Structure formats: C-alpha cells, structure tokens
Amino acid sequence: MQTGVPLMTQPSRTLIAGNWKMNGSGPTAETLAASVSEAATGLPAHIELTVCPPFTLLDRIGRILTDGPVALGAQDCHVEKSGAFTGDIAAPMLADMGVRYVILGHSERRRDHAETDALVCAKAESAAAAGLTPIICIGETLEERDEGRAHHRLSEQIIGSVPKDFDGVIAYEPIWAIGTGRSASRDDIIETTAHIRHALATHLHTGDKTPRILYGGSVKPQDAESILSIETVNGVLVGGASLAAESFIGIARGAPKA
C-alpha cells in the first residue's frame, strides 16, 4: 500500500446502486421499480439510490422514477457521441433519457467484450461530457489476489481507466465475489478500499479529494451494515439482490446514520 498521502473523508451521500444486468422485462420490471421508489421515500436523505436497468427498459423505468427519490442509471455507453456503431448507445442518448449514472468497465464487459482500461477511460470522459456520472468498476481476479497481486492490479486499473480529472464514483468489485454468493471479508474490504483511496489520491488531479468508493460483489441485506460502516466505503453496487425490492431496500437500510 502506498503511504504518505494525506487522506480526507468527504461528506457525501451513501450510494446504493442496483445493477439489474440483463434481467427484467415489462410489467415485472415496472413493479420492481415502483416498489423501490415507494420504499425509498422512507429512507434518510443521506442515502441515495439508483437503479440501472438494461437499455430496453430505460424509458419505462425512467417514467416510473420521475420526480421520485431514485435516480435512473445505465450499464454502459459507447465512447463516441454518435455515428455508425450498430447496436451501441451513446452517452448523450442516455442523458436524453434522463439517465444520471452509468456503470462503466464492469468486469463482465471487460471479460465478454474485451474492454480495455483505455476504452473505459475514454467512455468515462464521454459520459462526463454528456453530464452523466460514471461508476467505474475495478477488481482483481482470485488468482491475482492469491498471488498477492491485487493491489498492483487495482492501481493499474485506476491509472488506466480513471481520467485524471474524474468526478464520478469508483466501484471496487473483486471478480471472485460477483454473483458467487461469496462476499469479500470486512477486513479485505477495509484494507483494499484504503489502498484504492491512496491510489486515487496519487493519480487524480484533485489529490486527496477522492471520489466515492462503492463495494460490490454478492452484497446481501445481512452484510450491508457491516460493509457500509467501513469509513472508506461510500456505498454498494448490488447485482442479484437488486432484483427484489425487499432485499435492495434492506441493503439501503443497513447504511449508518448520517
């Protein structure tokens, strides 16, 4: 871990982000969004919620979330503003739909679409230029962790994927914890997010005013309080448990008081 960088904890809202991945359609998805939106009205103001449905649902879910407390998010965007890119969606198109957050560089996209750090960085710039807040995902494999290379890998991803003037959110998602039911231990999260914060403070022009850091990987309501009470964790990115309003809101309720 790098040392010697003064750290500052910024007052910021706790972000609970739901990544629906390639799930949901029609009325079932609308019911889920409506239930989340309704339950979110009872949460304290320092807790911020966003749900990121697939592109096909953005319009429908956006209509349900309008004027409510839950922000609309997306799961990817193209690096260019427009053009001959069949099947892709540009950041300004997302902004036009009322999208506020966009997940970028998720390990599933890095794996399935060969997304590189440089591409993720360019997408983050494009998203920010369109007025969106990027959530850049980073995370190590189990092999990298077991071989003691997790910190190095995360630093590499920060240097490669995070623009130096970044004003978004970082999601630390150990790849071995995603969708496996095996969340990282509290000690692992404390130690790794402290490293991430130092690496960001060194890399970014903003220095010690580092972005919010989320933890992601098999987050469940019963673990939320323990994870969200970690000083270097400012929220969670939730996959499976965001597909039911009860578990997603249960996770938000685990956030410590302001």
Name the residue nearer to ligand PGA (CB basis): 166 or 172: 172
Q: Which is nearer to ligand PGA, 92 or 216 (CB)?
A: 216
Residues serving a catalytic function are 106, 173
Distance separating the N- and C-terminal Cα atoms of the chain? 29
The interface mask with ligand PGA, positions 3-22, x = CB under 6 A, is ----------------x---
> Long-range CB contacts (< 8 A, 24+ apart) of 183-192?
183/217, 183/218, 183/219, 183/220, 183/223, 183/227, 184/215, 184/217, 186/226, 186/227, 186/230, 189/215, 189/227, 189/230, 189/233, 190/230, 190/232, 191/1, 192/150, 192/151, 192/154
240 part of the interface to ligand PGA, by CB under 6 A: yes
- Residues 238, 249, 252, 255: which binds ligand PGA (CB under 6 A)? 238
Count CB atoms within 10 A of the CB of residue 32. 24
Regarding 217 and contact with ligand PGA (CB under 6 A), the answer is yes
| 163 near ligand PGA (CB under 6 A) | no
239, 247, 249, 252: residue in contact with ligand PGA (rule CB under 6 A): 239
Q: Is 174 in the site for ligand PGA (CB under 6 A)?
A: no
Q: Kindly report the backbone phi and psi dihedral angles of residue 20, in degrees, each rounded to the nearest multiple of 5, phi listed first.
A: -75, -10
Which one of 66-74, 119-127, 215-223, 247-255 is the stretch in contact with ligand PGA (CB under 6 A)? 215-223
Could you say which of 168, 211, 216, 254 contacts ligand PGA (CB under 6 A)? 216
Cβ 181 to ligand PGA shortest distance, Å: 8
Q: Does 237 bind ligand PGA (CB under 6 A)?
A: yes
How distant is the alpha carbon of residue 246 from its chain centre? Answer: 20
- The DSSP element (H or E) to which 37 belongs, if any, is helix 26-40
148: closest CA among 106, 195, 186, 108?
Answer: 195
Angle at 256 (CA atoms; ends 250, 258), nearest 5 degrees: 125
- Phi first, then psi: give them for residue 23, nearest 5 degrees: -130, 150
What is the per-residue binding string for ligand PGA in 79-118, x denoting contact by CB under 6 A? ----------------------------------------
Binds ligand PGA by CB under 6 A, chosen from 26, 42, 44, 179? 179
Which positions touch ligand PGA (CB under 6 A)? Answer: 19, 173, 178-179, 216-219, 237-241
